[in-house]
Structure 1
Amino acid sequence: MQSFHIMRPIAIFLRALTLSLILSSSVAAAEFVLTSWGDWKGDELFAKVKSDYVAMDLMDLSLSKTMTYDKGHGLVLYRKELKEDKTVFVPAVKVSVPASIIKPLVMLYMVEGSVRYRVLEMSPEKYPGSSIRFVNLSPRNLVVTFGEKNYGLKPASEVLVKPQIREKKAVQITASIITGESKLQKMYSSMILNRPKKRMVMFFHPTGPNELHCRSLVDFVRD
């Protein structure tokens, strides 16, 4: 009877330890993808996969292949250097991923020779098919109209619209700036064809003092 009482707590402890290890291993690994704003002119970047370093394809508003990173160590991109006739990989970009994001899309861009980034959600759980994300990269307050609904966008902010359509549907999208008289001045207008599995990120950015342009990143949700 005494040995039974001793073994039971040990068995409970071992089960709890095994469960903890399983959970920690499943939580530690997460997927991510990269893209760049414009043609990438920075260093060639690499992702660490176990003990190897894999070169990342960075193309203008096109998604890279999906990679994994260790949440415990964070998302780090590396560059290649030559030190004492040996090739070494050193951290180039350390990406801070918000805890709420499941699968980060890291959009890289250059500002005066320095690498900057923006992190967006790409998990179908939060960014399902037929969704459209509007991102305001301009210094102006915007009002984006999707169909018959208006969405306010402050500078550097974003809004996600989830229409959840079941068939192809044409939708009118406009973007207007708020003038000093609190009036709307339409700067962009387009008709898009929305699809059940299609997703789109629309970036509104300035091309002049009173000019607004839109660039899009499109992908499709897999079954």
Structure 2
Amino acid sequence: MINKEIGNKKKVDKNADVEDLKKKSLNIKEEIPKYQLKEKELLKERNKYISKIGNLLNIKVVCSDNEDNNKIVKTWGECKILPACEENDNSIHDNVVNSNNIKRETLNNEVDNKKKIKYYYHYDLLRKIGGANFKKGIQVAGHRGYYLTGAGFLLHNAILQYALNFLVNKKYIPVYPPFFMKKNIMEECAELDDFEETLYKIPSTSNSTLSSQQVSTSP
């Protein structure tokens, strides 16, 4: 704008005094880098707060403080709903048969009188085929911990492969992401303030301006 004003004055009078305008233009040019730096700082701070805003849920999404008030929104076919196991009944992960297990067998193995079909929970089936070690899993990982063994491990992989084949046939493209990502990228998809110190990371080097962080969901 100042340069345009100088040009207009020169068009009217070639000898017009424009020194004050030139000094003003020079001062502004000297101030620009300072404000550009301030702009970057404010932009970084703004993005930091924006990244903390969670996804907005659709108004139809059912909200509940716990599982007791969960609502069944939609079902497909005829669903067989079995009684819920007791939350504190660790016997569901125990390979040792005791009175609790016997009681649980009576509770969980519901029989459909119309079709004469006996239903089992997945952990019952895994125990029957020797596909999991719940007792060791609890010792290592706590409640609900488990090791998949033998047929259980193979079944797990088979289901994964079936899912991949199904999706590939639907034209989905499988992606195997890297275990590490740059810090500025990770900040866009996770709040690092809460757990940044616990992440495994590779410090920046002379060839890298940003350190790499292990993806929080990777092994």
What range is the shorter-chain TM-score in? under 0.3
Structure with greater strand percent: 1
| Higher share in helix | 2
Larger Rg over CA atoms = 2
Higher RCO (CA < 8 A, seq sep 6+): 1
